Amino acid sequence: MKAFIIDRYGKKDPMRLGDMPRPEVRDDDVLIEVHAAGLNLLDSKIKSGEFKLILPYRMPLVLGHDVAGVVAQVGSRVRQFKVGDEVYSRVPDHRIGTFAQFIAVNENDIAPKPRNITMEEAASLPLVGLTAWQALVERAQPKKGQKIFIQAGSGGVGTFAIQLATHLGATVATTTSSANTDLVKSLGADIVIDYRKDDFEKVLQNYDVVLHSQDAAALEKSLRVLKPGGTLISISGPPDPTFAKGIGAPWFVRLIVRVLSSGVRKKASRRDLKYSFLFMRANGDQLREITQLIEVGAIRPMIDRIFPFESTNDALAYVEAGRAKGKVVVKIK
């Protein structure tokens, strides 16, 4: 099968289009013929080697975490899907490789594709949808009327998280550029801060939840906009000891993580705040919940651009530039 491959870690070297064996289908696996694949900044970070301590991969490696396609084969123990079903998934970290014509995924990490959207729209959803779900529904568990600050509202996670938080009944604040103000308001944002002109720390006070996705300076400010008892969930770091333990990291990685996060954890504790790092995980059951929200129109996909499969390197470069409104997708079939 055709796939985009890396042979070594590096920021500058492009992926190469080459041939890889079709994935082995285990007893609990579904083989998906890939129709579309979503791109994420995580793909670029893995390519550069940023996560090699906690996510060691063997080369050659096919990147890609988001997929939408059609079931081509099922393993002997698969009961939830059959050949011909339209499905989508955020594949697990140890089995990435959606920038290819086929991928094998455990059936528990897959969900039926929402019936009312295209393959390209479906491929844009799993990673950002599960990130928002696990941050807000699973961890923050906001009550109706609480205040949630979602950074970078026009990005992939932001556009989904705003809609989900609004659906949960929260008052939502976000940051974006003035060019994207109408977009994030249309998704449900109540308060929109132009990050180029205004400092969100001077605008927001007594928030219940912050979904942090920016740099260390924004992290410091985010602690100060939360009220006592509030929750800060970061998807951009630093990782915390709970995360390191959860992935079974070796002792030296756990030590590094403990040191890296000690500052923010101490500051959060002094303010009676909860800090946690989220590295989202594949989850087919949660993706089924998201499917229902898509099908009833509570959340809609947000795609910036669709690239042809042969332009996957260009698509990844576009993601790295950090200017996409919503998600970037490659169309494979």
Model confidence pLDDT, tens digit, residues 102-128: 999 999 999 999 999 999 999 999 999
Q: Please check whether residues 69 and 101 belong to one and the same domain.
A: yes
Average pLDDT for residues 282-306, to the nearest whole number?
98
Query: What is the value of pTM for the model shown?
Result: 0.96
Q: Please check whether residues 113 and 42 belong to one and the same domain.
A: yes
Least confident of 54-58, 85-89, 329-333: 54-58
* Strand intervals (E) in the chain: 2-6, 16-19, 29-39, 61-62, 66-74, 86-90, 102-106, 110-112, 147-150, 171-176, 191-194, 207-212, 226-234, 274-277, 303-308, 327-331
Q: Please check whether residues 17 and 158 belong to one and the same domain.
A: no
Looking up residue 39, the CATH number of its domain turns out to be 3.90.180.10
- Per-residue pLDDT tens digits for 186-238: 999 999 999 999 999 999 999 999 999 999 999 999 999 999 999 999 999 89
- Give the pLDDT band (50/70/90) at residue 303: very high
Which token pair is 16?
């190469």
What CA–CA distance (Å, rounded) separates 261 from 281? 21
Q: Which residue type sits at 297?
A: G
* 286 in a structural domain: no
- Which residue do the tokens 């920038």 mark? 99
Tally of domains in the chain = 2
- Per-residue pLDDT tens digits for 130-158: 999 999 999 999 999 999 999 999 999 99
Q: Please check whether residues 92 and 157 belong to one and the same domain.
A: no
Q: Which DSSP string do the residues of 105-140 spell out, in sequence order?
A: EEGGGEEEPPTTS-HHHHHTSHHHHHHHHIIIIIII
- Per-residue pLDDT tens digits for 2-26: 999 999 999 999 999 999 999 999 9
Cross-strand bridge partners of residue 192: 174
Q: Please check whether residues 262 and 168 belong to one and the same domain.
A: yes
pLDDT of 247 reads 86
* 296 in a structural domain: no
Q: Please check whether residues 47 and 178 belong to one and the same domain.
A: no
Average pLDDT for residues 295-318, to the nearest whole number?
98
Q: Please check whether residues 43 and 179 belong to one and the same domain.
A: no
Range of the structural domain that residue 316 is part of:
2-125+301-331
Average pLDDT for residues 267-271, to the nearest whole number?
96
pLDDT of 323 reads 86
* 283 in a structural domain: no
* 156 in a structural domain: yes
Instruction: Report cis status (omega within 30 of 0) of the bond before 250.
Output: no
Q: Please check whether residues 235 and 314 belong to one and the same domain.
A: no
